[in-house]
Structure 1
Amino acid sequence: MRICPDEIKIILESDGKLLESRADILLEKYDARFLLLIFAEKHQTQVVFVSGSKKIRAIEIMEYLMPVFGLVKGNAQMAKGCISLTILNSLIADTETTDAVGYFKKKVADYIEETVCIVADEYMAEAKEELTKLPVYKKKKVKWAVVKSTDVASPGEKILVKSLENSTGKVLEAGDECLIMIGNRGETYDISRKKFESTYELTDEKLDI
């Protein structure tokens, strides 16, 4: 089930304050169901996508619009991306469009053409017999080690955690509720004590690094 590209309003905006607006406010302001705002700045271009329907997840289309060179963050309803002007101009030239609006309009149309929206309950009702014949998989058991943040720092102290996946690092605040997970490839991430205790259980197996 595809939507029409014309349902997505694409607007070149100059008011940077709108970058901090809530999704519902932006949709109401522009009377849109789907909205793509482009903010052209001196050295970079910021883009905001707002979705008023489950048919498009904002974070997914934003990752499509900026698959390699852009910085993306957000959720299903609203996502933001940032890309350098130099890189964007190169992409515009590669797609034979003339400006940022034309480039993102083409990318949005490509996304809609390549993406099929499946409404789960409708599809399950239509293809129940087919679905029951599909193979069933379960997630592999992956071993993790855990370190209390207070074992390496005093409560309230800031910790900079770096890994092979994130060489820049992430700053955490040590505390009883902050734990640090370590995988067998050296990857790390923080997790709350509550989530850890509800998700993981202790094992005698050693971590194979």
Structure 2
Amino acid sequence: MKKNVKIIFNNKLDIENIEKNDIITILKKQAINICNTGSFDCCIIIGQIKKNKYVFLLSTTYMTRAGDLFRYLDKHLLHFEIENFEEGTDRMKVSSWYFTILNEESGKEMNEPLKIDIEKTIDEYVAGATVIDGRTYYQSNADEIRQLPLYNKKSILRCYVNVSDIKKDYGLADEDVITLKTLENESGVALKAGGNDIIMIGSKGEPYNMPKMKFQELYQEVAKGNLAAEVSDEYEYVPNAFINGSEKAVDLLKYAYVCTSKKKNVVYAKKVTDGIYKVFSARIAGTNQYYYGVADERPFYLTVDKDDITSVHIIDADAFAKSYEMVVS
């Protein structure tokens, strides 16, 4: 993405009584046309709707999600007062967009020096991110990884959800999208309703997806109902999902079963306290569903599955401490 960005200021939308979704559609078409015409990886449009400024950011590369980039720009340069926002990804999980409406007095003056600052900040973001491809990471770093301590996932009760139950209850088609906002992907992991995924609920209440085949290898069902409520009493987060971009949350605990480990899941792990990491585990390579960690804001563990070396993950440090214990030799 370096230097391959188009920035447009003062893009006024002369519209009356139009829904936000229609505004997003108009801006998305405009940004896609700009990117296609100029071969840009990213387009940022900053303009005005009535009295309010807005920002629309489109990323056409799977290497960078629009929401992740906007949050970095806002923290390190823009410092906008955000009223609300929406973000999403396309069905191929490659391009993504972010839209926000700002308070009336929010933000810096829109001028040419700011464009230069935005380009410079994007360069810093791209250059400063450590990108890991799970398909090759172990082979390239085998000696270092084998020196890391081993951890085993604790045999504790966990809640999980069959995606098929949500599909049936809501009458979804196979191609409909169920989105999870995870600790490692604030923009949202997009699951197909007809896919082969299980939604796991972590020790802090954070949802994340797991292939059904891997789930069946590692876990076994214990019970449903009151036991799920008992397990969820310790959650810090409310585990929700969203269907086809709707703002209305689906309560995952309504569909929760309880499971426990039936096989040891051993990982190499190291704690990361500095830098930005993007991890493409083997099964999500080529999509923008990477695991994302900003370690100076929230430390995490980088893990490599001992039995499946292409399974590389980022796990929130607090969640890791609750779920894993060091292997004592």
TM-score by length of 1: 0.54
Residue of structure 1 equivalent to 2:5: 8
Contact 1:51 1:58 in 2 (8 A): yes
Separation in structure 2 between the aligned mates of residue 52 and residue 46 of structure 1, nearest angstrom: 20
Q: Superposition pairs for residues 31-70 of structure 1, below 5 Å?
A: 31=36, 32-67=40-75, 69-70=81-82
- When residues 143 and 201 of structure 1 are mapped into structure 2, their CA distance, relative to the original with a 3 A threshold, is closer
Count of matched residue positions in the alignment of Structure 1 and Structure 2 = 155
Alignment of 1:46-125 (within 5 A): 46-67=54-75, 69-70=81-82, 71-75=84-88, 77-88=96-107, 92=108, 98-99=109-110, 102-103=113-114, 105-114=116-125, 115-120=128-133, 121-125=135-139
Residue 256 of structure 2 is matched in structure 1 by: 196
| Aligned residues of 1:55 and 1:117 also touching (Cα < 8 A) | no
Cα gap change, 1:130 to 1:8, in 2 (>3 Å): same
**How big is the shift at 1:28?**
3.4
For the structure 1 residues 29 and 187, does the alpha-carbon distance in structure 2 shift closer, same or farther, using more than 3 Å as the test? closer
Q: 1:124: how far off?
A: 4.2
Matches of 1:47 and 1:127 in 2, distance apart? 40
Q: Which residue of 2 aligns with 1:28?
A: 33
Measure how far apart 1:195 and its partner are.
5.4
| Contact 2:45 2:57 (C-alpha < 8 Å) held by counterparts | yes
Higher helix share: 1
The amino acid of 1:113's aligned partner reads: E
The structure where strand makes up a greater share of residues is: 2
CA contact (8 A) 2:44 2:58 kept: yes
Q: Does 1:128 align with 2:142?
A: yes
Are the counterparts in 1 of residues 34 and 43 from structure 2 also a CA contact under 8 Å?
no
1-structure distance, mates of 2:236, 2:57: 34
Cα pair distance change 1:142/1:7, threshold 3 Å = farther
List per-residue Cα deviations over 1:68-103 (Å, max 9, x = no partner).
732443145111223223131xxx2xxxxx526643
Residue 149 of structure 1 aligns with which residue?
none
Identify the residue that residue 155 of structure 1 maps to in structure 2: none
- Indicate the SS of the match to 1:79: strand
**Shift in alpha-carbon separation, 1:127–1:196, aligned structure 2, 3 A:** same
After TM superposition, the structure 1 stretch with the greater mean CA deviation from structure 2, 37-46 or 68-77, is 68-77
Classify 1:103/1:81 alpha carbon distance in 2 versus 1 (closer, same or farther; 3 Å): farther
Cα deviations by residue, 1:111-139 (Å, 9 ceiling, x for unpaired):
43143251413544432332333345567
Higher relative contact order (CA 8 A, sep 6+): 2
- Give the AA of the match of 1:73: E
Quote the Cα distance in structure 2 between the aligned partners of 1:26 and 1:111. Answer: 18
Question: Greater CA radius of gyration, 1 or 2?
Answer: 1
Please give the root-mean-square deviation of Cα atoms over the aligned residues, in Å.
3.9
Q: Is the 8 A contact 2:86 2:98 kept in 1?
A: yes
Tell me the alpha carbon deviations over residues 161-209 of structure 1, each in whole angstroms, 9 at most, x when there is no partner: xxxxxxxxxxxxxxxxxx9996547754542468523xx449xxxxxxx
Structure 1 segment 168-183 matched on structure 2, within 5 A: 183=233
For residue 87 of structure 1, give the secondary structure of its aligned residue in structure 2: coil
Partner of residue 154, structure 1: none
Indicate conservation of the 8 Å contact 1:124/1:131, yes or no. Answer: yes
Task: Give the TM-score normalised by structure 2.
Answer: 0.37
Contact 2:32 2:58 in 1 (8 A): yes
